[in-house]
Amino acid sequence: MTECSVKRFGVLRDQVKLNCCNLTKKSCESLSSILSSQPCSLRVLDLSYNNLQDSGVDILSAGVRSPYCKLETLSLSGCLITEEGCTSLATALRSNPSYLRELDLSYNHPGKNSMKLLSAGLKDLRWRLDTLSWKHFLCPSLFHNAKCYCKFN
């Protein structure tokens, strides 16, 4: 997926599903730029089963932190994220708590401290977050055998 196509679909669609599309840190730069731009119509972003790692999530978090970001659902299942990336997301949500309602961090290794930060957001009345998924920690064989698809709605 090229940067141009990521930008095109991000601007034209309110839902972007990029499951297992070999996205990396570079793709996160384009997506973060979309989330930070005015107006941003993107509401649902599914990046599950991509090799984003903490470095990609740190970049993506900058977009989530933007006051222009109106993202309601973010799925990062199986993206090789550790406590560092999850903490970056928690910090971004603290800066812009008004929109994100669902966050899926399943099949990652978020760590206890970052999950405490995110769980606290569920109780904070300023945060809209009402669903936080972190089932199962990542098993490499699951990552390689996952059903993968790219879908644009």
- The more confident residue out of 100 and 5 is 100
Quick check: 81 and 108 in contact, CB under 8 A? yes
How much is the pLDDT for 104?
Answer: 95
Q: pLDDT tens for residues 104-146?
A: 999 999 888 988 888 888 888 899 998 998 876 544 443 344 4
How much is the pLDDT for 8?
Answer: 54
pLDDT-based confidence at residue 54 (cuts at 50, 70, 90): very high
Quick check: 10 and 38 in contact, CB under 8 A? no
How much is the pLDDT for 119?
Answer: 87
CATH number of 3-152: 3.80.10.10
